[in-house]
Amino acid sequence: TQVKNQLIDIFASMGFEIFEGAEIETDYYNFTALNTPQDHPARDMQDTFYLSPEFLLRTQTSAGQIHVMEKKQPPIKILSPGKVFRSDSDATHSPMFSQMEGLVVDQHITLCDLQGMLDQFVKALFSDEVKTRLRPSYFPFTEPSVEVDVSCHVCGGKGCSVCKGTGWIEILGAGMVHPNVLRMAGFDPEKCSGFAFGVGMERVAMLKYGIRDIRDFYTNDVRFLKTFSRFE
Ligand code: PHE
């Protein structure tokens, strides 16, 4: 909750508005409208809990992107925090976790706008010395897609156990909204463009506070919770 509030504060100060989507979604909003039709191999990236052939537990807050674009006209600048669900469970994956989606759509939005905003974001989150790096990646609903790394806030980029000796830590996925997604939402990709990003909130909290097991967030061990209590 503390990390979520901090993320909201940072993005709200940049002019983002909050949109809360639903945890139960249709296949259309979670996948098809995000350029991931039935039988697309990228559906395999997220092991999905289906409630019926039509309904599912959303696997990503990206499902909210289309709802927002159906309701609003550009300029759009939305932040969407919430729970997401995937059939996955180990020390760094939980069947339920939290993401924060960002979506910006307007005229002449470029990848530089995305990186500039992310730079601001990681400086506010960690410290002024932290830098970002974009690596090419793949998501069906963004083109180009990037994986965003931050320089290690523990060793300053020299290499340590937190960054596994590389000096960089992966923090989120992002990219330019795919023209098919804009079209699917009723926008003309010749007239507007946008970027989107999705950050795992537990992941941010784990990096910030050196938490090694994601399951610690949900087991309600008072000793763990007290470490973060501001009301002691
Ligand atoms: N939805 C993607 C995921 O959960 C993250 C993402 C969001 C990527 C927005 C690009 C743009 O893996």
DSSP 187-200: --TTT-EEEEEEEE
**Minimum-distance ligand 1 atom for the alpha carbon of 65:** 9
**Ligand 1: centre distance to CA 140 (Å):** 9
pLDDT category at 207 given cuts 50, 70, 90 is very high
In this prediction, residue 231 carries a pLDDT of: 55
* Residue whose tokens read 């909003």: 29
Mean pLDDT rounded to a whole number for the chain: 95
The pLDDT tens digits of the residues spanning 60-103 come to: 999 999 999 999 999 999 999 999 999 999 999 999 999 999 99
- What is the C-alpha to C-alpha distance for residues 79 and 64, in angstroms, rounded to an integer? 10
Reply yes or no on whether the pLDDT at 229 is more than 90: no
In this prediction, residue 65 carries a pLDDT of: 96
Compute how many other C-beta atoms are within 10 angstroms of the C-beta atom of residue 205. Answer: 22
The pLDDT tens digits of the residues spanning 40-58 come to: 988 988 899 999 999 999 9
**Ligand 1: centre distance to CA 224 (Å):** 29
- What is the C-alpha to C-alpha distance for residues 212 and 205, in angstroms, rounded to an integer? 10
pTM of the model: 0.94
In this prediction, residue 211 carries a pLDDT of: 93
Reply yes or no on whether the pLDDT at 126 is more than 70: yes
Protein residue with least CA distance to atom 7, ligand 1 = 198
**Minimum-distance ligand 1 atom for the alpha carbon of 61:** 1
Tell me if residue 84 falls in helix, strand or coil: strand
Protein residue with least CA distance to atom 2, ligand 1 = 198
